[in-house]
Amino acid sequence: MSRGNLFVTLDDISLSGKRVLVRVDFNVPIKNGRISDDSRIRACLPTINKITQAGARVVLMSHMGRPKEGKFDPAASLNLVADHLAILLGEKIRFISDWNNLGEAGNERIILLENVRFQTGETKNDDQLARKMAAMCDIFVNDAFAAAHRVHASTCGVAKYAPVACAGPLLVKEMEALTTLFKNPARPMIAIVGGSKVSTKLNLLKSLLERVDQLILGGGIANTFLKASGANIGESLCEDDLLETATEIMGIAKTLGKQIPLPTDVVCGKNISDYAEARVKPVGKIDSDDLILDIGPETAKNYATALLKAKTIIWNGPLGVFEIEQFSRGTGIIANAIADSPAFSVAGGGDTLAAIAKFGIAPKLTYITTAGGAFLEYLEGKTLPAIAMLEERAQAWRATEREY
């Protein structure tokens, strides 16, 4: 069944003359007062255009950062986003900071509301706030897959109370790409999970192990597994209290007949800096004051060979400290192998997107999700509450004869 059957979509309803409230995820990184990556904004442009071209007015709402509720915080304002959006669309955007003065909005086709997290009750999914949002529109559209794991007023509550609640085109596209990963994926299927902490990705590792044929680990996660398997990892980043868990996961892999290959060589430094000397060492020859900062060339080559033969690839998390040139090769080789592989490939997460940009492989991946946390929760097999709410509304809507 296509996702379109699970949700009410923009194609199911008549938009002309309606006021459409769209939850987007414009939570973009801002560095030195500028938006450093606008992909989340660009990803929503087709949705906005589709709605305005159908003759409807759009009210956009999004969160930005994690400000204290009930208070304005200039650092988390969406005003920069409003300016940028206007440039991208080539159209005037009305930016409304005072949620109590919505009635003042003129006839602009596109309105952007100030950060939804300044509203008291947003992150608690407050009923009153949700009803207030719902009252702003004829149709609510959730196009914020990246925030679909949050039970907030703007992601869940509003969808409960809005006259119609539908899934936006971006959200549908994200769900379709991710559904393909888990529904009869072409095999072999490999997941690459890197990053610093085992603890945040523990459930992810366990649930991925059940689905994939091979799990490739990187960063602090790989170090923890190396240490658990008896290797000396010197001063490398590692979570000592999870060594037993790592051993347990390797045991599960064995029982299931799945592979978790560990690095056979690594790139070490004595500190993490642009000037640190990089040394390739076989695992087994690591000094007590060494830091493992990348996978070694032999390991990278072996992983790349496996990736080139894979039919499905999931990538979350870099393999080393790729921001520093001399420790970036492992991640670069893996990134290029994913790009060159004929596999259906999906990647996501903040650091992963930065690595994809650094190695210029974006056009060669099948799908890059805009989501970070929501992507991980989806991969863990969790139900995303905002998605569940849209499905619930769709069922009720289909049962009552599509009045719209």
Site residues for ligand 3PG per CB under 6 A: 25, 27, 66, 146-147, 150, 372-373
List the 165-167 sheet strands across, edge first: 94-96, 110-113, 57-61, 19-23, 139-142, 165-167
Cα distances from 388 to residues 113, 149, 286, 391, in angstroms, run 25, 10, 48, 5
* Pair 262, 230: CB distance under 8 Å: no
Angle, helices 297-309/329-340, rounded to nearest 10 degrees: 10
Query: Which amino acid, residue 99?
Result: W
Q: Least separation, in Å, of the C-beta of 26 and ligand 3PG?
A: 9
Q: Of the residues 350, 358, 381, 382, which is catalytic?
A: 350
Q: Least separation, in Å, of the C-beta of 40 and Mg ion?
A: 12
What, of ligand 3PG, Mg ion, none, does residue 181 touch, CB below 5 to 8 Å by kind?
none
Q: Of the residues 197, 206, 279, 358, which is catalytic?
A: 197
Nearest Cα to 316, choosing from 164, 205, 233, 224? 205
Residue number, 263 or 372, with CB nearest to ligand 3PG: 372
**Catalytic residue list contains 40:** yes
Q: Of the residues 40, 132, 150, 329, which is catalytic?
A: 40
Cα distances from 221 to residues 2, 6, 88, 203, 264, in angstroms, run 35, 36, 39, 13, 15
65 binds Mg ion (CB under 5 A): no
Q: Of the residues 4, 65, 121, 373, which is catalytic?
A: 373
373 binds Mg ion (CB under 5 A): yes
The neighbour count for residue 290, using CB atoms within 10 Å, is 20
**Catalytic residue list contains 350:** yes
Total residues binding Mg ion (CB under 5 A): 2
Burial 314-345 (b: 16+ CB within 10 A, else e): bbbbbbbbbebebbbbbbbbbbbbbbebebbb
What, of Mg ion, ligand 3PG, none, does residue 121 touch, CB below 5 to 8 Å by kind?
none
- Tokens in use for 288? 């007590």
Residue number, 317 or 372, with CB nearest to ligand 3PG: 372
Q: Which stretch binds Mg ion (CB under 5 A): 79-87, 201-209, 325-333, 373-381?
A: 373-381
What is the maximum alpha-carbon separation in the chain?
70
What, of Mg ion, ligand 3PG, none, does residue 25 touch, CB below 5 to 8 Å by kind?
ligand 3PG
372 binds Mg ion (CB under 5 A): yes
Q: Least separation, in Å, of the C-beta of 311 and Mg ion?
A: 30
What, of Mg ion, ligand 3PG, none, does residue 27 touch, CB below 5 to 8 Å by kind?
ligand 3PG
Q: Least separation, in Å, of the C-beta of 349 and ligand 3PG?
A: 9
Give the HSE-up count for residue 204: Cα atoms under 13 Å, Cβ half-sphere: 25
Nearest Cα to 133, choosing from 23, 52, 25? 23
Residue number, 123 or 328, with CB nearest to ligand 3PG: 123
Nearest Cα to 192, choosing from 59, 391, 330? 330
Residue number, 134 or 146, with CB nearest to ligand 3PG: 146
Q: Least separation, in Å, of the C-beta of 41 and Mg ion?
A: 17
Which residue spans within 225-339 are E strands per DSSP? 265-269, 279-282, 291-295, 312-316
Q: Least separation, in Å, of the C-beta of 25 and ligand 3PG?
A: 5
Contacts with Mg ion, residue ranges (CB under 5 A): 372-373
The residues that are catalytic are 40, 197, 350, 373
